[in-house]
Amino acid sequence: MTELGLIGPVEIRVPPDPSLSRVLRLAASGMASLAGFTIDEIEDIKIAVSEVLLALIEHGSGNPVEVQFESDDHSFKLRGRSFADNFDIEHPDLVLCRSVLAGVCDSHTIDHVDNQAHIWAEVTHKTIE
């Protein structure tokens, strides 16, 4: 069985600039690789990071986005948040985004509370015992 490393939390705050999506993916995949995730799991984590960022940038209010990455002994957890007056969870683009998150993550939530859009997602490590 492969054991995962405990790494993080790493908290990153960025302006709502699409070009930073790749930078966040690099940071997340570097963490996940150190922690011992497989290549396929790292691909899923990269997609999840991208989806979180694009949901908060495209549907947020132009405010900075905060993401947080953390790896524990069985999963990679990511959270993202941004202040947003409106955040239409039923927007068709977000529906596609959610269906991708559902495909690559073992669980995820998206909500909008107190003017803050918030996304949480988790990719579990499949151990082979």
Q: Enumerate binding residues for other proteins (CB under 8 A).
A: 2-7, 17-19, 21-22, 25, 34-36, 38, 43, 46-47, 50-51, 53-54, 57-58, 93, 96-97, 99-100, 103-104
Give the one residue of 2, 3, 15, 95 binding a copy of itself; rule: CB under 8 A: 15
Backbone angles phi, psi at 35, to 5 degrees: -75, -20
Query: Least distance from C-beta 90 to a copy of itself, angstroms?
Result: 31
- C-beta of 4 vs 14, nearer to ligand ADP: 14
Looking at the Cβ atoms of 46 and 81, the one nearer to ligand ADP is: 81
Interface residue with a copy of itself, options 2, 3, 13, 62 (CB under 8 A): 13
- Distance between the two ends of the chain, CA-based, in angstroms? 5
Q: 115: part of which helix (H) or strand (E)? A: none
Beta carbons within 10 angstroms of residue 28's beta carbon: 25
The token pair that represents 79 in the structure block: 């959270």
- In the bound complex, what is the minimum distance in angstroms from residue 40's beta carbon to ligand ADP? 25
Apex CA 92: angle with CA 79 and CA 49, to 5°? 25
Measured in degrees and rounded to the nearest 5, phi and psi for residue 49 equal -60, -45
**Does residue 26 bind a copy of itself (CB under 8 A)?**
yes
Amino acid at 35: A
Q: Under the rule (CB under 6 A), what is the footprint of ligand ADP?
A: 11, 66-68, 79-81, 118
